Amino acid sequence: MRVLVTGGAGFIGSHVADLLAEKGHEPVLLDDLLPAAHGEPEAPEWVRRHEMVRGDVGDPAVLDGLLARVDTVCHQAAMVGHGVDPTDAPEYVRHNDLATAALLAAMYRSGHRQLVLASSMVVYGEGRYSCPEHGVVPAPPRRPADVEAGRFDPACPRCGRQLAGELIPEDAPLEPRSTYAATKLAQENLALAWARATGGRVWALRYHNVYGPRMPQNTPYAGVASIFRSSLERGEGPRVMEDGAQRRDFVHVTDVAAANLAALESDAGEGNCVPVNVCSGEVRTIGDLAGTLATAMGGPAPEVVGGARPGDVRHITADPARAAEVLGFRASVGFDEGVRAFATDPLRAPVGAPMGRP
């Protein structure tokens, strides 16, 4: 199977490409090496073993040429993370939504009818919560005054009691609370509309907190694991916002690649667009991540600083049942094992670093 992997030089895309090749498939990579994510002007060493085209996912001519040569598509290209501020919004929309629309249009022209789409847990907004009296209820956005006062957990909108976090299933309401989140949900909706119009199939893989080798570093678009590691490498303790008790599901990038492979090889499932949580199934906290990484690196202890970034959510942890049922996917890398390895994993060159700098 020849697979077009958009964003194939990136953190997750490169691992997908490696696994495809290992399993006897032929990845063809498309990446424009965005400066915000790539610290070097050339493709990193780990993707040079694969065929790669440098180009824009939104370029119809590039897409038409590549789609004529492949069997299916794995769409990983995107701007990720919180970014800097709302002035990032046009770039998020251009790279995430307009580029996805261009890809779907090109797939229609070429007759392709199957897509694996990299989505994200951020489409849910807050996680799933229950009230002792009222059962499952939506968590309202947190008020700045509550965050400033150290009241981080959401309260029941009906009685005001503190809510308990639960695992979130794929049929939970979708309520994006950041620019990035809004563009990821738009990607899912565009793909669903395309699938309904063409009779196609989309696997929308909702990644939870992905970490591992080749993460970008020293950039506002990096994930929290990379940010913590950068602090420790500077000799500083990781700065943990809120009280460190925010619950997350940290999933290793090699497990994410395995979920993509399972989706590419699968013809199971019902419906035009099937959302699937890609997660470890292991509930941990941001404080756990900071403390485990600091211990593994022999660095200073984390510093809990309070506050919260706009768009941050309190708890979001995933139900892994659907992935196991429809894709046969179960994560294999445990939290402690993965985070200890991450302490010395090779990362992408820092953004703005000279060529060749580690």
Low-confidence ranges of the chain (pLDDT < 70): 36-41, 220-221, 268-271, 350-358
Q: How far, in Å, CA of 294 to CA of 228, rounded?
A: 8
Q: Give CA separation, 308 vs 75, 147, 160, 305, in Å.
A: 31, 7, 21, 9
Residue 24 structure tokens:
């006897």
Residues in the chain: 358
Could you read off the pLDDT of 73-104 as tens digits, one per residue?
Answer: 999 999 987 777 889 899 999 999 999 999 99
Q: How far, in Å, CA of 276 to CA of 263, rounded?
A: 10
Residue 45 structure tokens:
């060493």
Confidence at residue 220, expressed as pLDDT on a 0 to 100 scale: 66
Confidence at residue 358, expressed as pLDDT on a 0 to 100 scale: 26
Confidence at residue 312, expressed as pLDDT on a 0 to 100 scale: 85
**Segment holding 335, helix H or strand E:** helix 335-342
Say if residue 101 is exposed, middle or buried (CB neighbours under 10 Å; 0-12, 13-18, 19+): middle
Q: Which of 63, 43, 40 is nearest to 51 (CA)?
A: 43
Report CA Rg, the chain. Answer: 20
Q: What pTM was computed for the model?
A: 0.94
Q: Which residues pair with residue 73 across a beta bridge?
A: 4, 115
Name the H helices within 87-178. 89-92, 99-110, 144-148
Supply the DSSP symbol for 93: I
Confidence at residue 353, expressed as pLDDT on a 0 to 100 scale: 42
Q: How far, in Å, CA of 60 to CA of 106, rounded?
A: 7
Confidence at residue 315, expressed as pLDDT on a 0 to 100 scale: 95
Q: How far, in Å, CA of 248 to CA of 316, rounded?
A: 5
- Helices 224-233 and 335-342: crossing angle, nearest 10°? 50
Place of tokens 């667009």: 273
What backbone phi and psi angles, to 5 degrees, belong to 68? -70, -15
What backbone phi and psi angles, to 5 degrees, belong to 281? 80, 10
